[in-house]
Amino acid sequence: MAAGISIITAGERTTGVKHQQLASGLSNLAYWIGNFTFDASLMIAWLITFTTILTIFVPESYSDNGWGYIVISGLFFVPAVLFRFYSCSYAIADVRMAQSLYFYGSLALMYVGKP
């Protein structure tokens, strides 16, 4: 999901949408807090939907504490991933490169520190 949001973030940068919104009188802090809040709430909604579906279809593994473990770990993951692709959107001007770099970077990070 974060790779999909990185397309939007990089696309806003290349088309100048951020500059248009900031030029309309919106403060820089309000703009970024609004974007962060929207993206975080969207990812948390998907996280809760995903864990509910897992609980319905695999109740022996994801009922009781299993649901909470996924949601709590997801709540730590959401801000970390948002800060990461917001930072990457400043460095990458090509939308396709942002998605590829973010997707393969996330894939590579899964194996960092594994024995």
- Over the stretch 19-63, which tens digit does the pLDDT of each residue have? 556 666 777 777 778 878 888 898 889 888 988 888 888 888 777
Q: How buried is 27 (Cβ within 10 angstroms: 0-12 exposed, 13-18 middle, 19+ buried)?
A: exposed
How many distinct structural domains can be found in the chain?
A: 1
pTM over 0.85: no
Domain-embedded: residue 114: no
- Indicate the average pLDDT of the chain: 75
Q: What is the pLDDT of residue 5?
A: 63
115 assigned to some structural domain:
no
What's the pLDDT score for residue 66?
Answer: 76
| Cα 30–chain centre separation | 19
Name the residue range of residue 19's domain. Answer: 2-109
* CB contact at 8 A, 17 and 10: no
